[in-house]
Structure 1
């Protein structure tokens, strides 16, 4: 019995060490250069930061709004954020899940679509995570989604992570016309994306 207990204890310790080993040390993952392009993210309206434990990447926008009550082009806004992640060699990562926070006011039957995808510069493959809100709805929201076919970074190569976000409002063909808006959270005035990292040793 004692021998079995020792074996079980060693197994647990090995799993714990392995779990720790496949995550970079706290504070070792940072965001380097960040740029963005698109009508949803004018200069100075976006930020990106990695949590100290390297478990999450947060991207925030302060001027990202899709709305039906203006020009036709305002029903759809998009942005591509390109960022360099600094982290120790010997690791690869994927983004597996996303949490989206914002505000939507949608008439009955009107759709708000938030499409997020990511890819690495010079590398094939794109992962997508769609979120759809359907009216009637008028509140701040927090919605989670899982990326379809996550893309893995290349081992020991620095390649920019590119995050493409599209927000659109689809009013439908109702008579009379119906309206909708998807925009920043009314509390912190941000449209926020929180991405969950999955790290592997390589």
Structure 2
């Protein structure tokens, strides 16, 4: 039995002008740092890979497991992992997430709900984009995808920016046995994020 998506909630706290999209990324683009931190990605369990253009990022989490039921504790019922991405690039550009997809596997029985929430923001700036997914009544793979209508952009006037992507999953109520975990095929929960650029 596969999941039914009981709700998808999308928040857009910033009202943004239509972007003037750049045809490509800045000529000089460098990943200064990419790190992960959180209960869902303990040290050594996460891998961050980038493509040749430094605009597509794959985050693979091998120990992101949320579980509830007998013999579990509060720390088992909720997990998170925060990706911090520090980019250096030519002045005159801004960037945001073109897409961000989170894929995993879950077992959620009747009477229990699983929730996953992703938020994107920039260090030192107000506002964030967020999107979430509620899973109920089934088991199988799931995917939580961002929407291009919910975007937050890096600031203009500089040549560096730090983007934060925080993913959280939790189960409620915690008394019944349920699971949100890595995909059974890949043995990893994956998040793929692609960037898009515009001229300031």
Give the shorter-chain TM-score range: 0.7 to 0.9
SS where residue 155 of structure 2 aligns?
Answer: coil
Structure 1 gaps, min length 5: 1-17
Q: Deviations over 1:4-58 (max 9, x none)?
A: xxxxxxxxxxxxxx97x532169x6553322333211111122223333565332
Find 1:194's aligned residue among 184, 192, 195: 192
Structure 2 gaps, min length 5: 1-19
- Cα distance change of structure 1 residues 39 and 143 upon mapping to structure 2, 3 Å threshold: closer
Which structure has greater strand proportion?
2
Aligned residues of 1:25 and 1:53 also touching (Cα < 8 A): no
TM-score, scaled relative to structure 1: 0.76
Find 1:133's aligned residue among 115, 135, 153: 135
Number of residues of Structure 1 aligned to a counterpart in Structure 2 = 178
Query: C-alpha separation between the residues in 1 aligned to 2:145 and 2:164?
Result: 20
- The 10-residue stretch of structure 1 (113-122 or 34-43) with the greater mean CA deviation from structure 2: 34-43
Aligned: 1:152 with 2:153: yes
Greater relative CO (CA pairs within 8 A, separation 6+):
2
CA apart distance, 1:63: 0.9
Query: C-alpha separation between the residues in 2 aligned to 1:97 and 1:171?
Result: 31
Aligned residues of 2:88 and 2:161 also touching (Cα < 8 A): no
Larger radius of gyration: 1
The corresponding residue for 2:33 is 33
Runs of 4+ in 1 over 6 A off after TM superposition: none
Query: C-alpha separation between the residues in 1 aligned to 2:136 and 2:48?
Result: 28
Which structure has greater helix proportion?
1
